[in-house]
Amino acid sequence: MATTAGTDELRTAFSGWILEPGDDGYEDARRVHNGLVDRRPALIAQCRNTADVVDALAHARASGLDVCVRGGGHNVAGRAVADGALMIDVSPMRGIHVDPGRRTARAQGGVLWKELNRETAVHGLAVTGGAISTTGIAGLTLGGGLGWLMAKYGLAADNLLSVELVTADGRILDVNAESDPDLFWALRGGGGNFGVATSFEYALHPLTMVTGGLIAHPLDAAADMLRFYRDACATASDDLSVFAALVHTPDGSGMKIAGMVVFHTGTLEEAERELAPFKEWGSPLVVEVGPMPYPVMNTILDAGFPAGSLNYWMSSFAKGIDDGLIETMVDRFATVPSPMSAILLEQFHGAVCRVPVADTAVPHREEGWNLVLPSVWMDPADTEANIAWTRETHAALGEHLSERRWLNYLGDDQDSGVRGAYGPNYDRLVEVKRRVDPDNVFRHNHNIAP
Dihedrals phi, psi of 367, to nearest 5 degrees? -70, 140
Domain membership of residue 57 (yes or no) is yes
CATH number of the domain enclosing 54? 3.30.43.10
Name the pLDDT band for 130 (thresholds 50, 70, 90).
confident
Shared domain for 259 and 399, answered yes or no, is: yes
Q: What is the pLDDT of residues 260-286, one digit of tens each?
A: 999 999 999 999 999 999 999 999 999
Do 213 and 342 fall into the same domain? yes
Same domain, 194 and 214: no
> Do 236 and 336 fall within a single domain?
yes
Note whether residue 6 is domain-resident: no
Q: What is the mean pLDDT of the chain?
A: 95
Contact call for residues 421 and 407 (beta carbons, < 8 A)? yes
Q: How far is CA 138 from CA 185, 274, 312, 362, in A?
A: 16, 33, 21, 15
- Asked if the structure places residue 265 within a domain, the reply is yes
d(CA 413, CA 315): 13
Say if residue 41 is in the same domain as residue 187.
no
279-326 pLDDT per residue, tens? 999 999 999 999 999 999 999 988 888 899 999 999 999 999 999 999
Q: Are 167 and 436 in contact (CB under 8 A)?
A: yes
Are 187 and 216 in a shared domain?
no
Structural domain harbouring 349: 209-420
Kindly state whether residues 287 and 402 are assigned to the same domain.
yes
Q: Tell whether 76 and 166 lie within a shared domain.
A: no
Report if residue 173 sits inside a domain. Answer: yes
Q: Confirm whether 449 is domain-assigned.
A: no
Of the three residues 63, 89, 115, the one that is the final residue of a domain is 89
pLDDT at 371: 98
Does 9 map to a domain? no
Task: Give residue-wise pLDDT tens across range 355-392.
Answer: 999 999 999 999 999 999 999 999 999 999 999 999 99
Residues 261 and 292 in one domain: yes
β-sheet with 256-264: strand ranges across:
286-293, 209-218, 256-264, 240-248, 343-348, 368-377, 310-317
The verdict on 177 and 225 lying in the same domain is no
What is the spatial distance between Cα 309 and Cα 218, in angstroms, rounded to a whole number?
Answer: 26
Report the domain count for the chain.
Answer: 3
- 47 and 189 in one domain? no
In DSSP terms, 67 is beta-bridged to 86
> Domain containing 124 — which CATH number?
3.30.465.10
- Half-sphere exposure of residue 208: CA atoms within 13 angstroms, side-chain side: 5
CATH number, domain with residue 413: 3.40.462.20
Q: Is there a single domain that holds both residue 178 and residue 292? A: no
Residue 42 lies in a domain: yes
Residue 340 resides in a domain: yes
Region 192-213: what's the mean pLDDT?
97
